[in-house]
Amino acid sequence: MEYLQREPSGVLAGVVRSLWLVRGQAQQSLERIFPMPFVHLIVNLSGPYRATDPLSGVTAEPLTAVFCSGLQRHFTLSENPSALFNLGAVLEPDAVGRLGLDPAEITGRVVNVESVLPDVAGFRQTTLAAADLDPAAGPGSGDDLLDALHAALVLSLRDDAPDLVVRRAVAVISADPSRSVASVAEECNLSHKSLIGRFRRATGVTPKFYATVVRFHRLIDELPLGDDVPWAELAAATGYYDQSHVIRTFKTFTGFTPQDYYRIARTHGRESTRFVPVG
């Protein structure tokens, strides 16, 4: 499996956290993908994906070209093609509007967005055409493809200025997700109500929910894959009230109990902690 990742430069800094490429055979046909503290934009150069909301049972339209996974409220089931060839961008949660994406439209959903991002869709078409023209050479090196995606995203940027107060709030919560919304609002010189409204408009979720996602990722990042997990100590160290709080969060975000999740992570390794194979 080929995997490349790099940080953006220039005007994309503050909009995109990283660019990535993955190419190779899928290890699993079906995965549970957990809520992330960022938004994913994917340029699909392989077969279609299908994403299902496990609570409603609704399966999104086939994800074929350029699609976006917004901030999610619970895990998503992803049906993968057998061969993977994707490029993508990890987007700051409060900066999706800079690319013309509406937080209210993408939150809790995985949606096709090529009509919103014609330059990115054009990059995909050019890449596929190059592969068809010279199958032996393929579409190009991974580094060249990431360069081209970077250029397409620069062309896609809108002039809309980000809400710097929300940007500050995202940074504060990311540094310490156990802080109360009131204390974050005070640091940002806003009322509690104003912060919630501005944060929701920019990201699609409330500051409290975003902090819950960040805290959950701290927990799974620090989860030891040894023979024993000190759940009570780990819960306290990552800002949870007690083990019952951890259990509720795990069931909402993963569909597993903490112990079931731990057994799966031990079996499949650290790389499965966010994309858990289920078939």
d(CA 222, CA 220): 5
Q: What's the farthest any 2 CA atoms get from each other in the chain? A: 60
* CATH 2.60.120.10 domain residues, the chain: 2-156
- Write the single-letter amino acid at 59: T
| Residue in this structure with the two tokens 């995985």, named with its chain if needed | 110
d(CA 142, CA 128): 14
* CATH 1.10.10.60 domain residues, the chain: 164-277
DSSP conformation letters of the chain: -EEEEE---GGGBTTEEEEEEEEEE-S-SEEEE---SSEEEEEE-SS-BEEE-TTT-PBPSPB-SEEEE---SS-EEEEPPSEEEEEEEEE-TT-GGGGT--HHHHTT-EEE-TTT-HHHHHHHHHHHHHHHH-TTTTT--HHHHHHHHHHHHHHH--SPPP-HHHHHHHHHHHH-TTS-HHHHHHHTT--HHHHHHHHHHHHSS-HHHHHHHHHHHHHHHS---SS---HHHHHHHTT-SSHHHHHHHHHHHHSS-HHHHHHHHHHH-GGGSSEEE--
| Residue in this structure with the two tokens 């093609």, named with its chain if needed | 81
pLDDT (0 to 100) of residue 231: 75
Per-position pLDDT tens, the chain of length 279: 889 999 999 999 999 999 999 998 887 888 989 999 999 999 999 999 999 988 888 888 899 999 999 999 999 999 999 899 999 999 999 999 999 999 999 999 999 999 999 999 999 999 998 876 555 556 778 999 999 999 999 999 998 888 999 999 999 999 999 999 999 999 999 999 999 999 999 999 999 999 999 999 988 888 777 767 777 777 777 777 777 888 888 889 988 888 888 888 878 777 767 788 776
Domain 164-277 has CATH 1.10.10.60: yes
DSSP conformation letters of 63-76: B-SEEEE---SS-E
pLDDT (0 to 100) of residue 152: 97
Sheet holding 39-44, edge to edge: 2-6, 16-25, 83-91, 39-44, 66-69, 110-112
d(CA 82, CA 78): 12
Beta bridge partners of 83: 25
Architecture field, domain 2-156: Sandwich (2.60)
